[in-house]
């Protein structure tokens, strides 16, 4: 049957073109991706800020422990200090580990702003249990900064490492540390001890630095004191300055 259209009857509106139909879901997809990217960036920045806060708490607790703590005279010998909270182990008893932490070095203005590092691999010489551990490193050797600025720094190879002594004083134990460049400590399940983690590697975590500082920075500029510390690092840096305002020469 032939359909009759009267003069005053509007013509049927043309359907949306295929190009326009395709444009709408693409716009929605792009908007969703942008929101996801912003959320991911905010989350990564929050993680970097929380890492600083946790590192400050770990260092404070290990320095203030009544009997098993990092001796202050050894902290005074350190050119750099690294704190790696919640380093996860990959196997029971003895196994590889992975985690992120921060390192601060002495500069002409005191302790530098913290730079993010990754710690990977390495075997635990003295396992004190737990699925994760807090690791503290004291870089007591000369030219520690130069070695840390390498693409990869391997404990025990690029720098002689040893389990750090614990207690109110390291008197009587310093002779055994002759030639040692890095002192290593571990805390797990509330227990704190010096441990050996030879073979572990340290690498700058530049993406984490970008998340923390908001833009790309050279690790050398951070550790040499050329970058203002973020407000979130104040607790950690104040703690280091309080316990060890200046380095004591070992000569």
Tell whether the model's pLDDT for residue 19 goes beyond 80.
no
The percentage of residues in the chain with a pLDDT greater than 70, rounded to a whole number, is 65
Q: 46-89, pLDDT tens digit by residue?
A: 889 999 999 999 999 888 877 668 888 889 999 999 999 977 66
Condensed to tens digits (0 to 9), the pLDDT of residues 178-230 reads 678 888 888 775 566 666 677 888 999 999 999 999 999 999 999 999 999 99
Return d(Cα 185, Cα 85) in angstroms, integer: 12
Record the tokens describing residue 199, joined without a space. 């073979």
Taking the model in full, what pTM does it have? 0.76
CA 36 to chain CA centroid, nearest Å: 24
- CA end-to-end distance (rounded Å), the chain: 109
DSSP secondary structure of 150-181: SS-EEBTTTB-EEEPP-SS--TTTGGGGTT--
Annotated domain spans of the chain: 59-243
Task: Decide if 244 contacts 250 (C-beta within 8 A).
Answer: no
Residues with Cβ within 8 Å of 251's Cβ and at least 6 positions away in sequence, in order, are none
Compute the mean pLDDT over every residue in the chain, rounded to the nearest whole number.
76
């Amino acid at each position: 049957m032939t359909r009759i259209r009267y003069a005053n009857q509007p013509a049927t509106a043309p359907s949306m073109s295929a190009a326009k139909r395709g444009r709408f879901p693409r716009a929605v997809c792009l908007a969703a991706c942008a929101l996801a990217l912003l959320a991911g960036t905010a989350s990564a920045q929050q993680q970097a800020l929380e890492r600083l806060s946790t590192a400050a708490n770990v260092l404070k607790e290990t320095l203030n422990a009544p009997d098993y703590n990092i001796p202050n005279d050894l902290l005074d010998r350190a050119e750099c200090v690294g704190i790696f909270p919640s380093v996860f182990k990959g196997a029971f008893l003895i196994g590889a580990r992975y985690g992120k932490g921060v390192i601060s070095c002495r500069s002409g203005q005191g302790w530098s702003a913290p730079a993010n590092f990754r710690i990977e691999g390495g075997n635990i010489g003295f396992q004190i249990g737990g699925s994760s551990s807090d690791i503290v490193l004291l870089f007591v050797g000369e030219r520690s900064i130069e070695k840390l600025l390498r693409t990869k720094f391997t404990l025990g190879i690029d720098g002689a490492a040893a389990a750090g002594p614990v207690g109110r004083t390291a008197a009587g134990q310093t002779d055994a540390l002759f030639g040692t460049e890095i002192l290593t400590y571990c805390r797990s399940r509330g227990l704190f001890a010096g441990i050996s983690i030879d073979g572990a590697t340290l690498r700058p975590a530049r993406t984490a630095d970008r998340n923390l500082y908001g833009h790309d920075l050279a690790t050398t500029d951070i550790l040499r004191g050329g970058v203002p510390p973020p407000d979130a690092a104040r607790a950690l840096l104040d703690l280091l300055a309080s316990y060890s305002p200046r380095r004591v020469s070992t000569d």
